[in-house]
């Protein structure tokens, strides 16, 4: 290696150390993971809209696209994804170097969409990614991770380190069954993290609560654990997201916006209580 190459490498290492030192100050952000039991239930749409809603409530949010086989948060948010989560997993960059500014002040870690080969990260790579995300306390209150749908390796790794896991479902029977199966697997990985249910594409609160009650009852009877109910989001949420425009941007009067704001407020309140408990315990 030439002297110039060594100097360049040293500068990169110094820059990374400086970035990591700067971002590591402050308490670790809370990690909220969003997962769908099956494809097509709107997990990514709701992840973007949840990040926007939390940001509008004054929370500093980092949105992570960890759906490695179907990453499109960057496209929906209109940002560059040349540097993405795959670079962090492969040790080419840190999380701090791939962050991109997204809607309403949300910071985004783009996903690895359209790669020539699949992302094959080592255990060390995953540990580095989680450590980097936990070090964002100086600039983030919440790290919201979209793992996409189904029990992927990425989802299972984030379930283990999550402070809260939200399962996105619809009222359709197939979706409900897949959600229950996902919860069964999820409980194997994280018995301690609270599990919440969010019913998407359902305008009727009565129907949504019935879905939540049915899943919670089955989980308590057969799995020995309860599942919380976060609320319902009308079908309009997904329709707005497909236009690459976050639901809450200038849509404060629509039913979907009101529902998302209500859910985000509940999350913000729960995270606030958890943070206060942690400070009291310390």
- For 213-258, the DSSP string reads HHHHHHHHHHTS---EEEEEE-THHHHHHTTT--TTSS-TTSHHHH
Please give the pLDDT value at position 112.
Answer: 81
3-state helix, strand, coil in the chain (%, to 5): 50, 15, 35
- Please compute the mean of the pLDDT values over residues 225-238 and round it to a whole number: 82
Does residue 124 lie in a domain region? Answer: yes
Does residue 88 lie in a domain region? Answer: yes
141 has a pLDDT exceeding 80: yes
Does residue 87 lie in a domain region? Answer: yes
Higher pLDDT, 19 or 73: 73
Closest CA to 225 of 174, 263, 185, 198: 185
Please give the pLDDT value at position 253.
Answer: 63
Domain containing 126 equals: 25-281
Please give the pLDDT value at position 246.
Answer: 55
CATH of the domain at 236: 3.40.50.300
Gap between the Cα atoms of 165 and 235, Å rounded: 22
Mean pLDDT, the chain, as a whole number? 83
Q: Which helix (H) or strand (E) holds 196?
A: strand 195-200
Does residue 3 lie in a domain region? Answer: no
Residues 6+ apart with CB under 8 A from 20: 94, 96, 132, 135
CA angle 150/131/45 to nearest 5° reads 35
**Six-digit token pair at 86?**
């795959």
7 has a pLDDT exceeding 60: no
Gap between the Cα atoms of 138 and 128, Å rounded: 18
272 has a pLDDT exceeding 80: no
- Model confidence at 120, pLDDT cuts 50, 70, 90, reads low
Residues 6+ apart with CB under 8 A from 139: 23, 26, 60, 62, 107
Does residue 10 lie in a domain region? Answer: no
Please give the pLDDT value at position 18.
Answer: 45
Please give the pLDDT value at position 93.
Answer: 92
**Six-digit token pair at 253?**
């009067």
231 has a pLDDT exceeding 80: yes
Does residue 8 lie in a domain region? Answer: no
Please give the C-alpha separations between residue 77 and each of 11, 36, 259, 266, in angstroms, as whole numbers. 32, 20, 21, 24
pLDDT in tens, 172-212: 999 999 999 999 999 987 777 899 999 999 999 999 999 99
- Model confidence at 22, pLDDT cuts 50, 70, 90, reads very low
| Residue ranges in 24-152 assigned as alpha helix (H) | 43-56, 73-77, 85-89, 95-98, 123-134
Residues 6+ apart with CB under 8 A from 17: none
3-state class of 70 per DSSP?
A: coil
Output the pTM of the full model.
0.84
Gap between the Cα atoms of 266 and 164, Å rounded: 13
- Model confidence at 115, pLDDT cuts 50, 70, 90, reads low
33 has a pLDDT exceeding 90: yes
Closest CA to 167 of 113, 225, 206: 225
Domain count for the chain: 1
């Amino acid at each position: 290696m030439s002297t110039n190459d060594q100097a360049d490498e040293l500068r990169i290492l110094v820059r990374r150390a400086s970035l990591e030192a700067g971002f590591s100050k402050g308490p670790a952000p809370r990690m909220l993971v969003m997962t769908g039991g099956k494809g097509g239930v709107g997990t990514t749409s709701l992840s973007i809209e949840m990040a926007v809603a939390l940001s509008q409530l004054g929370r500093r949010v980092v949105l992570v696209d960890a759906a490695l086989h179907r990453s499109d948060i960057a496209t929906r948010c209109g940002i560059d994804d040349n540097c993405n989560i795959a670079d962090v997993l492969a040790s080419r960059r840190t999380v701090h170097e791939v962050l991109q500014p997204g809607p309403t002040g949300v910071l985004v870690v783009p996903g690895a969409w359209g790669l020539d080969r699949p992302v094959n990260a080592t255990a060390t790579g995953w540990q580095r990614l989680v450590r980097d995300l936990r070090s964002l306390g100086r600039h983030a209150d919440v790290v919201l991770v979209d793992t996409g749908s189904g029990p992927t390796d990425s989802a299972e790794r984030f379930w283990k380190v999550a402070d809260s896991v939200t399962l996105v479902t619809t009222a359709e029977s197939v979706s409900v069954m897949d959600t229950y199966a996902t919860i069964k697997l999820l409980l194997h990985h994280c018995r301690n993290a609270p599990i919440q249910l969010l019913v998407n594409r359902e305008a009727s609160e009565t129907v949504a609560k019935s879905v939540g009650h049915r899943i919670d009852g089955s989980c308590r009877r057969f799995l020995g654990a309860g599942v919380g109910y976060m609320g319902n989001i009308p079908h309009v949420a997904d329709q707005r997201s497909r236009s690459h425009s976050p639901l809450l941007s200038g849509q404060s009067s629509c039913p979907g916006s009101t529902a998302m704001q209500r859910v985000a407020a509940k999350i913000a309140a729960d995270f606030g209580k958890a943070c206060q408990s942690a400070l009291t315990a310390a």
